[in-house]
């Protein structure tokens, strides 16, 4: 086993040793490779070493990420990477420990709590910068565009510090969401594009109702969202009827917005959306019935807008490279999956969609900043 490096913190030594194990190498060989470009006397040596080793190890791990998320090993490994990045050197570790001890002592004196509270406060946790840094290596975790907003949402209950149980649960919820979506049926009578993926489904026997309103009549059915379109299938006697496709990728003067519905057209229940397009004579009204709030409607509205904004972005900034187009689709898909996961974690207080959906966030920016942000997003 490699000896610990005195200039590194305890957690940095642990993280780098595990990186070496994943790579079938040794710490000394990794350091030798690293020092070909970064000398020990250079500023930020310890953190750069953590970044170098983490990057190499994650390139190997991401090939089998599915199994490692399920058993928690990926969460543990990457969480330790964040801790190591945040406190990479022995000097920083000593300073950090002194600060924690002082804060704990002050808290105990102020509120008169015992040792148990002190132990909770000492539980290792990662900060915002470390979380966003990890996103540069593992896009699954967070998107650089709204990483800080995502972090604030996930850590609101814990004083803006990310603890392992919450981080582990977040990744596992994402994994469950992906597996759930992969099992969903393709809308009736529809052949999805090769790069088209189901991102949300409701109106099935195991989920909440969705109702389409046409004049004075109402039709329950299944609603499916992909990264290209919305599909509504009216419920038949035995199976679903052929799906109505609402193409969100077309540049045809379309929009989706909230609308109220009710008996005989009276706007009593503010729980629906209406899709309007220059290709349709009248809008398509879809209601998401629930007892009190309009949370479901707001969720579907945010997701539909995000897909629409994705395609508007590709058109506006003339993104033509197949690789760049797919990158934008992938970032949208992952953003929606992160939002699903966060909603499962924070059911009492659903998160703001813009904290997870990159194009929704860009749409909220002032127009002058939007152009600059759009160009940087392409890069």
Residue 22 sits in the same domain as residue 130: yes
Residue 206 sits in the same domain as residue 342: yes
Residue 337 sits in the same domain as residue 252: yes
Residue 249 sits in the same domain as residue 106: no
pLDDT at residue 118, rounded to an integer: 44
CATH number at residue 286: 2.30.29.30
Answer yes or no: is 188 within a domain.
no
| Residue pair 243/190 in contact by the 8 Å Cβ criterion | yes
* Residue 115 neighbours by CB under 8 Å, 6+ apart: none
| Domain C-terminal end among 119, 136, 163 | 163
pLDDT (mean) for 89-115: 67
Residue 370 sits in the same domain as residue 270: yes
* Residue 8 neighbours by CB under 8 Å, 6+ apart: 16, 46, 49, 88, 89, 90
Which long-range contacts does 89-98 make (Cβ < 8 Å, 24+ apart)? 89/7, 89/8, 89/9, 89/12, 89/46, 89/47, 90/6, 90/7, 90/8, 90/9, 92/9, 92/46, 93/9, 93/10, 93/11
Residue 17 sits in the same domain as residue 102: yes
Residue 232 sits in the same domain as residue 341: yes
Query: With bands split at pLDDT 50, 70 and 90, how would you rate the model's confidence at 119?
Result: very low
- Tokens 């005989």 sit at which residue? 264
| Domain C-terminal end among 139, 163, 187 | 163
Q: How many CA atoms lie within 13 A of 346 on its CB side?
A: 23
Answer yes or no: is 210 within a domain.
yes
| Residue pair 308/323 in contact by the 8 Å Cβ criterion | no
| Residue pair 133/85 in contact by the 8 Å Cβ criterion | yes
Pairing relation of β-strands 210-214 and 217-226?
antiparallel
Q: Is the pLDDT of residue 370 over 50?
A: no
pLDDT at residue 105, rounded to an integer: 65
pLDDT (mean) for 192-208: 96
Residue 154 sits in the same domain as residue 240: no
| Residue pair 268/312 in contact by the 8 Å Cβ criterion | no
Answer yes or no: is 362 within a domain.
yes
Q: Is the pLDDT of residue 321 over 80?
A: yes
Residue 278 sits in the same domain as residue 363: yes
In angstroms, the CA 187 to CA 173 distance is 25
Picking from 131, 193, 188, 126, the residue whose alpha carbon sits closest to that of residue 158 is 126
Q: Is the pLDDT of residue 108 over 80?
A: no
Answer yes or no: is 191 within a domain.
no
Residue 251 sits in the same domain as residue 138: no
In angstroms, the CA 212 to CA 197 distance is 23
Q: Is the pLDDT of residue 1 over 60?
A: no
Query: With bands split at pLDDT 50, 70 and 90, how would you rate the model's confidence at 349?
Result: confident
pLDDT at residue 348, rounded to an integer: 83
Residue 213 sits in the same domain as residue 121: no
Residue 290 sits in the same domain as residue 369: yes
Domain residues for the domain of 241 are 198-378
| Domain C-terminal end among 138, 163, 188 | 163
The number of domains in the chain is 2
Q: Encoding tokens for residue 56?
A: 């190499």
Which residues, listed in sequence order, are joined to residue 246 by a DSSP beta bridge? 230
pLDDT (mean) for 34-60: 93
Answer yes or no: is 154 within a domain.
yes
pLDDT (mean) for 61-79: 89
What are the CA-CA distances from residue 304 to residues 66, 179, 215 (Å)?
Answer: 28, 21, 23
Answer yes or no: is 4 within a domain.
no
Answer yes or no: is 183 within a domain.
no
pLDDT at residue 94, rounded to an integer: 82
Q: Encoding tokens for residue 94?
A: 């000593």
pLDDT at residue 85, rounded to an integer: 98
Picking from 270, 217, 218, 279, the residue whose alpha carbon sits closest to that of residue 245 is 279
In angstroms, the CA 18 to CA 11 distance is 11
Picking from 253, 194, 251, the residue whose alpha carbon sits closest to that of residue 227 is 194
In angstroms, the CA 107 to CA 121 distance is 10
Answer yes or no: is 370 within a domain.
yes
Encode pLDDT of 215-249 as tens digits.
778 899 999 999 999 999 999 888 999 999 999 99
């Amino acid at each position: 086993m490699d000896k610990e490096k005195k200039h590194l913190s305890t957690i940095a030594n642990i993280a780098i040793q595990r990186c070496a194990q994943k790579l079938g190498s040794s710490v000394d060989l990794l350091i030798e490779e690293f020092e070909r470009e970064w000398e020990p006397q250079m500023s930020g040596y310890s953190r750069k070493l953590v970044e170098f080793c983490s990057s190499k190890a994650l390139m190997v791990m991401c090939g089998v990420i599915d199994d490692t998320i399920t058993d928690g090993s990926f969460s543990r490994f990457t969480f330790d990477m964040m801790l190591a990045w945040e406190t990479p050197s022995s000097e920083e570790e000593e300073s950090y420990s002194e600060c924690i001890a002082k804060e704990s002592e002050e808290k105990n004196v102020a509120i008169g709590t015992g040792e148990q509270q002190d132990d909770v406060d000492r539980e290792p946790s990662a900060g915002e910068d470390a979380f966003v840094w990890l996103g540069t290596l593992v896009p699954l975790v967070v998107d650089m565009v709204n990483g800080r907003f995502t972090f604030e949402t996930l850590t609101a209950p814990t004083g803006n510090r990310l603890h392992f149980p919450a981080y582990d649960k977040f990744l596992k919820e994402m994994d469950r969401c992906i597996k759930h979506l992969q099992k969903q049926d393709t809308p009736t009578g529809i052949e999805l594009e090769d790069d088209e993926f189901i991102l949300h489904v409701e109106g099935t026997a195991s989920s909440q109702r969705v109702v389409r309103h046409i004049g004075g009549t109402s039709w329950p059915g299944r609603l499916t969202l992909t990264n290209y379109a919305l599909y509504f299938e009216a419920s038949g006697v035995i199976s679903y009827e052929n799906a109505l496709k609402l193409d969100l990728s077309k540049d045809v003067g379309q929009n989706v917005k909230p609308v109220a519905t009710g008996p005989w057209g009276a706007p009593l229940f503010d729980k629906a959306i209406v899709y309007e397009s220059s290709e349709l004579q009248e809008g398509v009204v879809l209601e998401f019935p629930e007892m009190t709030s309009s949370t479901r409607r707001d969720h579907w509205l945010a997701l539909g807008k995000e897909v629409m904004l994705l395609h508007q972005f590709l058109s506006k900034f003339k993104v033509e490279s197949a690789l760049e187009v797919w990158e934008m689709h992938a970032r949208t898909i992952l953003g929606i999956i992160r939002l699903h996961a966060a909603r499962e974690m924070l059911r009492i207080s659903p998160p703001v969609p813009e904290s997870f959906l990159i194009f929704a966030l860009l749409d909220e920016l002032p127009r002058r900043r939007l152009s600059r942000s759009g160009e940087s997003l392409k890069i």
